[in-house]
Copies of this chain bind each other. A is one copy, B any other.
């Protein structure tokens, strides 16, 4: 391929870098792709960093050393992200969403990639410094948020199952107590899914008493895995004392007024710091 001009190199590199967040690309790869020297690529990266900074599109980092290179990370642009989260809260507050039993219908938000993707980048940004090796959730509703968080962190996701399945191979199963229902529940994780000594990030869609997150922590302990964080989309204010501490929640469900059918749902306070 002939030498590629600067405009074209920058455009193509931005696409390649942002397509795979948190993956380190070697400068040599770009130098070969565009038939220019590595020092030219280094200059291009300065330009790319300026563009990404100027429009608050994320963060470009250069990594030195033998395995060095350049990587992109989707740093949330809070002035755009907070209004989106506020809008999601407004949508979820619709009285028509209250279900029998005091549940709120949230699946449409949780399963729409353009909405949940942004929330995944928020959680990834909160936990990237903890260097998780994988994101874990328990089926079913937490899977999409776990997936988009793992994408932004460039790590695998693993799913604990409610029952053990033939397609998982040998599994470790634990019993745990659901904090809200006080019932004994079961979850299993394939022995092939994770390795001893890894660092796991727990992600889920909803937290009330924290029993599920506690169960996942106990399951990971069976594999000698450090839990480096817990992130959820929505948590309830009550009970204020959860079975786990130190979790991050993006949205807070304050209460449901059963007379008006109105739920008080707000972005978490820490987002405004």
Interface of A with B (CB < 8 Å)?
4, 6-8, 10-12, 14-16, 18-20, 23, 33, 47-48, 50-52, 54-55, 57-58, 99-101, 103-108, 111-114, 117, 139-141, 143-144, 147-148, 150-151, 154, 156-159, 161, 166-169, 190, 192-193
Contact A105 B51 (CB under 8 A): no
Give the CA-CA distance A15 to B10 in the complex, in Å. Answer: 11
B113 touches A147 (CB 8 A): yes
**14 chain-A/chain-B pairs, Cβ below 8 angstroms:** A7-B7, A8-B50, A11-B51, A15-B18, A15-B58, A99-B168, A105-B169, A106-B167, A107-B159, A107-B168, A107-B190, A107-B192, A113-B150, A139-B140
Q: A105-B168, A113-B157, A147-B147 are in contact. Are A47 and B7 (CB under 8 A)?
A: yes
7 further A-B pairs in the complex, CB-CB below 8 A; given A33-B55, A107-B193, A147-B147: A4-B54, A12-B54, A107-B159, A111-B147, A111-B158, A112-B156, A113-B157
Query: What distance in Å separates the Cβ of A192 from its nearest Cβ neighbour in chain B?
Result: 6
Assembled-state Cα–Cα distance A243/B48 (Å): 51
Question: Which residues of the partner chain B approach A101 to less than 8 Å between Cβ atoms?
Answer: 166
A168 to B110, CA, bound (A): 12
* A11 contact set on B, CB distance < 8 A: 10-11, 14, 47-48, 51-52
Instruction: Tell me if A12 and B55 are in contact (CB < 8 A).
Output: yes
Among residues of B, the one whose C-beta sits closest to the C-beta of A48 is B11
Given A10-B10, A144-B143, A166 and B108 touching (CB < 8 A)? no
A52 to chain B, nearest CB (A): 7
In the complex formed, the residue of B with least CB distance to A108 is B156
Pair B159/A140 contact, Cβ less than 8 Å? yes
Please name all residues of chain B whose beta carbon is closer than 8 Å to the beta carbon of A192 when the two chains form the complex.
Answer: 105, 107-108
Report the minimum CB–CB distance from A171 to chain B (whole Å): 11
Residues of B within 8 A of A161 (CB): 140
- Chain B residues with Cβ under 8 A from A167's Cβ? 99, 103-107, 141
Residues of B within 8 A of A147 (CB): 111, 113, 143-144, 147-148
Interfacial chain B residues near A12, Cβ < 8 Å: 51, 54-55, 57
Q: How far is the CB of A230 from chain B (nearest CB, A)?
A: 19
* Residue of A8, A111, A151, A161 with highest tally of chain B CB at under 10 A: A111
Q: Which of A23, A50, A51 has the most CB of B within 10 A?
A: A51
Complex: how many Å from CA A166 to CA B7? 53
Name A192's closest neighbour in chain B (CB-CB): B105
- Chain B CB within 10 A, most for which of A15, A104, A154, A192: A15
Nearest chain B residue, comparing its CB with the CB of A99: B169
Cα distance, A106 to B117, chains bound together (Å): 24
